[in-house]
Amino acid sequence: MARKPSERLTATIRIFRKPQFWFGLAVIAPLFVWYVWFAFSPILRAFWMAVVEYQILRPEESPFVGLQHFRMLFEYRLFWVSIRNTLVYAAVFYAGMVPLALFVSACLTSVARGRSFYQFVIFLPVVVSLVAISLLFKMLMNPQLGQINQFLKALGIPPSQFLTSHETALYSVIGVDIWKALGFYVVILTAGMLNIPEEMYDAAKVDGAGIWQRFWRVTLPLLGHTLTLVSVLIVMHGLQVFTQVVVMPSQPGGPGNATYVLNLLVYNEAFTNLRFGFATATAFTLFLFVFLITVVQLRLLRPSWSY
């Protein structure tokens, strides 16, 4: 039975009189103000910058241009180059990371002793500075003096150009990124696998299921929620790459435009060409890109069950 308006008003007044309400409000209010000031306000200001010809010295005199920056963006050749490279980066990073992380996680779950130590070793590259890792592999992948090519020569394998070839530069960066980020996703997947009830595996063994059948029929279906989370994080990681393509090649985005990605386009337009409005429009396009792909992933991958 629906409450009368007077009853609803009385209930609301009772809530206001409770000290718990005012305590909760006092705790939440500073956090709300912080988010409004440092998160939502910059987003609104960025949208304003995207529709004006932003004048850095006289922001208040920036003329309104509407959607002109977005139209220019879709006519800009480097935009499509960066879109292609970003999509390739995200797709290859995803295709390489998911199977490798699943394999390593499955191996870790079968380890009875020393699992924490192995996780520590695998996770260690994650906490090392990304710039330091990029500089290290830039040295290791040097075509003439790099230790990787020296090792390949010792095995009788032709040396590779790695970061200096238009065909291999992007994939070399992706390979290093997979190695560095692997531990983060392995920790999440390992936790998900360890959370699967052991009774499920015992029942599968009784039914005569082998190792591969147990992994395919038990582990993967019951890992659905964790795998969805990991998939979304991996794709977001790939779409937002920046530091590696700036530090590792001989020039940012090089050789040529082989590693030129969307975030690098945003950076160059803002801080090299000083076209802040155009750069902000590019950043908004990247945001919509990531958002739409994330929504599609959640719709396609998220299981409709739990255990």
Q: Please check the confidence at residue 12 and state whether its pLDDT lies above 80.
A: no
Q: Is residue 276 part of a domain?
A: yes
CATH code for the domain in which residue 278 is found: 1.10.3720.10
- pLDDT on residue 9: 66
Q: Is residue 62 part of a domain?
A: no
pLDDT over 90 for what percent of the chain?
50
Q: Is residue 66 part of a domain?
A: no
- pLDDT on residue 305: 63
* Cα four-point dihedral sign 47, 53, 55, 58: negative
pLDDT over 70 for what percent of the chain?
95
Q: What is the pLDDT of residues 40-53, one digit of tens each?
A: 888 888 888 889 99
Q: Three-class SS string for the chain?
A: CCCCHHHHHHHHHHHHHCHHHHHHHHHHHHHHHHHHHHHHHHHHHHHHHHCECCCCCCHHHCCECCCHHHHHHHCCHHHHHHHHHHHHHHHHHHHHHHHHHHHHHHHHHCCCCCHHHHHHHHHHHHHCCHHHHHHHHHHHCCCCCCHHHHHHHHCCCCCCCHHHCCCCHHHHHHHHHHHHHHHHHHHHHHHHHHCCCHHHHHHHHHCCCCHHHHHHHHHHHHCHHHHHHHHHHHHHHHHCCCHHHHHCCCCCCCCCCCCCCHHHHHHHHHHHCCCHHHHHHHHHHHHHHHHHHHHHHHHHHCCCCCC
Domain identity same for 117 and 184:
yes
In which band, very low, low, confident or very high, does the pLDDT at 4 lie, cut at 50, 70 and 90? low
Q: Please check the confidence at residue 163 and state whether its pLDDT lies above 70.
A: yes
Domain identity same for 27 and 150:
no
Range in 7-21, 101-115, 214-228, 244-258 the model is least confident about: 7-21
Domain interval for residue 171: 71-301
Is residue 127 within 8 Å of residue 184, measured between CB atoms? Answer: no
- pLDDT on residue 6: 65
Q: What is the pLDDT of residues 208-220, one digit of tens each?
A: 888 888 888 888 8
Across 159-177, average pLDDT: 93
Domain identity same for 42 and 190:
no
Q: Is residue 117 part of a domain?
A: yes
* pTM metric for this prediction: 0.87
Across 180-207, average pLDDT: 90
Q: Please check the confidence at residue 3 and state whether its pLDDT lies above 60.
A: no
Domain identity same for 84 and 193:
yes
- What do you get for the CA distance between the two ends of the chain, in Å? 35
- pLDDT on residue 234: 96
Q: Please check the confidence at residue 238 and state whether its pLDDT lies above 90.
A: yes
Looking at the structure of the chain, the number of domains it has is 2
Domain identity same for 203 and 128:
yes
Range in 7-21, 24-38, 57-71, 188-202 the model is least confident about: 7-21
Domain identity same for 160 and 20:
no
Domain identity same for 139 and 284:
yes
Highest mean pLDDT among 96-100, 201-205, 301-305: 96-100
Domain identity same for 144 and 291:
yes
